[in-house]
Chain A
């Protein structure tokens, strides 16, 4: 308890329960909710965007990273899980049409 930072008082917060910084939940990671961790196999991934579309957080980002698969296929971008936020729900694992996402138990 004593190591907790003292919260701001009435003088330094906005009134009426307003939050003035849009989307600042992003400052509060939820990655520690996970038990299982999705790992995208970039060689199998078709970049169909289904996992990106259904993620509720969203914790899957489309990144400008070109990728060359083991079989020589060139992709201009990559799907990456943001492990700061991924809650390990498994929707992406279940819905990937080519089962390119492995669901691995995270050992802490």
Chain B
């Protein structure tokens, strides 16, 4: 695959908008930013599949649509299967000359954690195994936000959701976050990455890389949710940045199942409390809880630094 053009500054980003304003996403919803940037760098020759979720219901509500590229929603759990069908149809129709065989048409699925990590997991795994040339972008707001903030497999440890409420016996989610990035990587697909809308250039370059590989690509993007994580919408990017600065969200990429990079190094790390205390969904956490989480993050940082072979994520200084 030819190397894609990567951006160095925001000025190089295409100016065309393939995502129209007027949609119904919450004020400050970073899923809007992610989807907008995705179609901006993917371009008009892109077919987008979205499973049921925040992005879908807010951007395609008859008789309106925010999408200026061909777009389809089918159901909650099958975005990857639908994308597989679209990719196969394009292949077949190009072979038969019905679609111009020289035209490069991207097939992209963009779905939330509900439709990707839980109910959509099977279809995702099947698509990855079959090797379809589809880029799957996961906008992870860490709960079933569209239906009112219920927990998903991607909800982090101890987080409040309406189905993991704070009570006398149980306080928040009991299980840790499902490591979907690693699970996808275990499928040995050509490109897997995590990204963060607070690091726009890193994120869009990963979209570009994902679109260029000859096979499935998976980009896992953290999406702080003002409504579900409980913070004032203006702090969306700040919180996203803190996620990376505390190493609770590491921006990495894995190319061809061989080359692993941490693409946003964090030489001076912040204590997780900065990230956690900024969000209402963690209000009930005690200092001990936070210390426990810090230990968990420290271990993970050590593991990742070992894989890379040097200290890309540094010690906690703040």
Q: Interface on A for B, CB 8 Å cutoff?
A: 13, 17, 19, 21-30, 33-34, 48-50, 52-59, 62, 82, 84-85, 87-91, 93-95, 103
Contact = CB atoms under 8 A, between A and B. Distances in A.
9 contacts: A19-B62, A23-B18, A25-B59, A26-B22, A28-B64, A53-B33, A57-B21, A57-B32, A95-B237
B36 interface: yes
A89 B226 CA distance: 10
Given A19-B65, A22-B67, A89 B10 contact: no
Given A17-B62, A22-B65, A93-B234, A53 B22 contact: no
Most buried by B among A22, A30, A82: A22
B27 to A, nearest CB: 4
Interface string B18-39: 1111111101111111001100
Contacts of A58: 17, 19, 21, 36
B15 interface: yes
A59 B21 contact: yes
Nearest to B33: A56
A54 B33 contact: yes
B13 interface: yes
B237 A54 contact: yes
A26 B13 CA distance: 22
B25 A56 contact: yes
A56 B30 contact: yes
B156 to A, nearest CB: 22
Top 5 A-B pairs ranked by shortest CB distance?
Answer: A56-B32, A90-B234, A89-B28, A23-B20, A87-B27
B237 A91 contact: yes
Contacts of B33: 53-56
Interface string B146-183: 00000000000000000000000000000000000000
Contact of A82 (B21, B68, B197, B235): B21
Given A53-B10, A53-B13, A57-B32, A94 B22 contact: no
Most buried by B among A17, A25, A26, A34: A25
A23 B68 CA distance: 5
Looking at chain B, what size class is its interface with the partner chain?
Answer: 35 or more
B63 interface: yes
Q: From DSSP, what is the main secondary structure of chain A's interface residues?
A: loop
Contacts, number: 112
B276 to A, nearest CB: 19
B154 to A, nearest CB: 21
Contact of A13 (B10, B32, B63): B63
Nearest to A25: B22
A25 B20 contact: yes
Contacts of A26: 20-22
Nearest to A8: B63
B256 interface: no
A93 B20 CA distance: 21
A58 B64 CA distance: 16
A16 B30 CA distance: 30
Contacts of B234: 89-91, 93-94, 103
Nearest to B65: A19
B232 interface: yes
Contacts of A17: 62
B216 interface: no
A58 B36 CA distance: 8
A23 to B, nearest CB: 3
A25 B64 contact: yes
A14 B26 CA distance: 28
A95 B199 CA distance: 12
A28 B22 contact: yes
